[in-house]
Structure 1
Amino acid sequence: MKKYLKFSLPRFQEPAPSSFQTRPKRNGNTCLFACVFLILLVSVETAFADKAPQRIISMAPSITESLFALGAGERVVGRTDFCKWPKEACQLPNVGGMLNPSTETWLTLKPDLIIFLKSSDRLVSKAKSLGLNTLTVDMNRINSIFKSWKLMGDTLGIQDSAANLEHSILKEIEFIKSKTRGLPKIETLLLLGDSSDPGRDLFAVGRSTFLGELIELAGGKNILEDPDANYPRISKEFILARSPEVIIEAGPKSNLTGDEYKRRMKEWEPFSSIKAVQSKRIHFIGEDYAVIPGPRLHLILKQFAQALHPDIFAGSSSTTKK
């Protein structure tokens, strides 16, 4: 569906009447000029809309989800193995993995644009060598996500949709901030993946990531202080030394049954000097959106806020299994 920009006709003002002049008669040429001007603008906008990409391949879940949230889902003709939402995306042709896609499928789908994450330099170069148009977006920080939506909106001719999406997410963020404003910051450790063996090294989330920023917005204080460490590997000695008040594990493998939750909590018991273990404030967030920097990031924020401030966000769905 083509989207046309709104515009206004220029106003043709008449001289203000006074005692020294009479009101001039309307000139039919003015109306004629306005009509011609309108037709020309509509023609320009139509041509612009026709040139906007109509066959897009998305090379990351965050990009796919963003395109559908922007109302451009009908233009997506291909997605990766990892793109699971929305359900309409799962029906689209699969181009393979994010790191090892099928370039033959790229060509078969005849895209007029492939959108990559900024860390995909090798694949971008490959696509360009095949004569394919590319767009690169950065989804690592909250502000960069908003900028990427604006870039996609500008590229696809759907600027209003991009602005509206950003506004709706900012509204959700402000609601959480208003609830946690003035509360003490809770020392938090955010882990990625499976912590079924807390004795081995684990991957954590640093402050300079969208997940790290969400922890701060939810009222937490990330115990990882190095701003250059985005997803560092940390040891059990580090966790014992810092003793966070809350531990959150996020990712698909954290979607636990009641029995799995009990077993996972028991595996933390040998580390009883950690504050989060003592108070049993270890949370598992396993929803499919838990680590995707897309239009559902406000849902991640709500999960974090509930884990950190359960009294304030009472009534929300629990992030622990019992």
Structure 2
Amino acid sequence: MRAIGHLLLVAPLALGAGAEAGAAPVTVQDDAGHRVTLARPAQRVVATAPHITELLFAAGGGERVVGAMNYSDYPEAARRIPVIGSNAQIDMERLLALRPDLLVVWQSGNTERQLAQLKSLGIPIFYSEPKKLDDVATSLTRLGQLLGTDTVAQAAARDYRQKIARLSAAYAQRAPVRVFYQIWEKPLFTLNGAHIASDAMRVCGGSNVFAGLKVTAPSVSTEAVLQENPEAIIGGGQHDGQAGITLWRTYKGLQAVQRDNLFTLDGELLVRATPRIADGVATLCDRLEEARRRRP
């Protein structure tokens, strides 16, 4: 398998040699701390998570993404990219047929088995795992280096950082709001302090009531939420007939219910680590400001 991967790697590099003649090798460090070196800018990239596909487009490399995971739906052009699998299963034959010269993978979103298979192909791998808001900007610039699209990537990173800086200046020092973030109802799931959504709360002057849990996306009990008694509850839209955050309306003693602080946000804008998260942070800040205004 390693030999096949090596042969398939050589072909796209050779195809790009004319356009990239004289290009110097580039080395960047990925989110796992590994050094990734390419002899010339990547020409055929496979992304193994929706947020990665979006980052590659934002960094100026959308036309070079030849394979993506299911749910890669932004921007619109991403919907036309061949799908090579899901977080449960990657079609390795289809991936190899695309002749990629760079794989950008989600370290915690792809299984250990998948990661082992991908490493065995002998194709350069960049691990993507943004955990803080500023990691989105550094992801853009590093991917821009690997793609040879530095100018576009750096401009996108500057614009994004400016948006986050303005929000932080406006809200970070506001009175804290204790927040429960619900990502799923049955079973009840939330996010801990290591997830980028918690950093978004921090920018808005919010604090995640379950930040201290060890698992990134832990399951919690209804009783645990009631004990924490958050001032605001944030959740995405309803799924598959579930009640979403409206389930809490029956708990009249909950502070978030008493003050009508049950807020529905577009979940993708807070959990996908892409430049669009700045829009999600702006909406979150508005909602937490509403919660402050409703205090007695």
TM bin, normalised by shorter chain, reads: 0.7 to 0.9
Residue of structure 2 equivalent to 1:174: 165
Partner residue of 2:197? 211
Q: Which runs of 5+ in 1 are unaligned?
A: 1-42, 314-322
Work out the CA distance in 1 between the residues paired with 2:279 and 2:232.
19
How far is 1:235 from its partner?
A: 1.2
Kindly state the Cα deviation for residue 301 of structure 1 after the two structures are TM-superposed.
0.3
Tell me the residue number matched to 2:12: none
Give the match's secondary structure for 2:146: helix
1:76 to 53, 65, 75: 65
Distance in 2 separating the partners of 1:265 and 1:88: 32
Q: Aligned partner of 1:85: which letter?
A: Y
Q: 1:55 to 1:208 in 2, by over 3 A?
A: same
Would the aligned equivalents of 1:141 and 1:210 in 2 still touch at CA under 8 Å? yes
Q: What's the offset of the Cα at 1:142?
A: 2.4
Structure 1's 76 and 273: CA in aligned 2 closer, same or farther, altered over 3 A?
same
User: Are 2:52 and 1:63 aligned?
Assistant: yes
Tell me the equivalent position of 1:13: none
Match of 2:207 in 1: 221
Identity of aligned residues (%): 24
Aligned-pair distance for 1:74?
Answer: 0.7
Paired AA for residue 82 in structure 2:
P
The alignment status of 1:146 with 2:137, answered yes or no, reads yes
Q: Tell me the distance in 2 between the aligned counterparts of 1:161 and 1:79.
A: 21
Distance 2:118 2:61 in 1: 22
* 1:310 maps to 2:278: no
Which residue of the partner structure matches residue 190 of structure 1? 181
Contact persistence 1:58–1:116 (CA under 8 A): yes
Equivalenced residues, count: 260
Amino acid at match of 1:82: Y
Provide the TM-score with structure 2 as the length reference.
0.78
Q: Distance in 2 between the 1:62 and 1:218 partners?
A: 22
How far apart in 2 are the matches of 1:255 and 1:308?
24
Structure 2: how far apart are the matches of 1:59 and 1:81? 9
Q: Which residue matches 1:130? A: 121
TM-score norm. by structure 1 comes to 0.72
CA separation of 1:87/1:264 partners in 2, compared to 1, >3 Å: closer, same or farther? Answer: closer
CA offset digits 1:170-213 (Å, max 9, x no partner): 111122122224321111111112x3xxxx65111212211011
The secondary structure found in structure 2 opposite 1:204 is coil
Q: Which moved more, 1:169-178 or 1:158-167?
A: 158-167
Which deviations, in whole Å up to 9, do the C-alpha atoms of 1:106-157 show, x marking residues without a partner? Answer: 1111111111112345333312323433222222332433333232122222
Secondary structure of the structure 2 residue equivalent to 1:90: helix
Larger Rg: 1
Match of 2:22 in 1: 47
Counterpart of 2:131, as a letter, is N
